Amino acid sequence: MPDPAPNSDNHPLKTLPREDLDLITQLVLHSGSLKDLASDYGVSYPTIRTRVDRTIARLQDAIAGRPPDPLAEVLAGLVERGELTTAGARAIREVARQRSSAP
């Protein structure tokens, strides 16, 4: 896998918020176990999965040089707080994608 940021001053991890860096650190310390990570954070597996997915999306955007998707950020926060289901968030994102690609 090629180095996404050869200059360490521009490393994509540096663009992530502290909460994402902390999550990545804890995930590594838990040997990648989301079950253990969820237990450590005191949340359900789906909640920690959503948090990890959001961190992955932010990192992918940083590597690609894209700004964060504001709709994805809002939806992830709602899911994380239990105000919206993961399935509901996916449905909203799909409708938004369809509307943005419609002529």
Cβ–Cβ under 8 Å, residues 26 and 42: no
Higher pLDDT, 79 or 64: 64
Residue 8 maps to a domain: no
Residue 7 maps to a domain: no
CA atoms within 13 A on the CB side of 64: 10
Higher pLDDT, 81 or 8: 81
| Residue 72: domain span | 17-101
DSSP for residue 83: S
Number of folded domains that form the chain? 1
Residue 3 maps to a domain: no
pTM for the model stands at 0.69
Residue 58 maps to a domain: yes
pLDDT of 5:
46
Residue 12 maps to a domain: no
pLDDT exceeds cutoff 70 at 79: yes
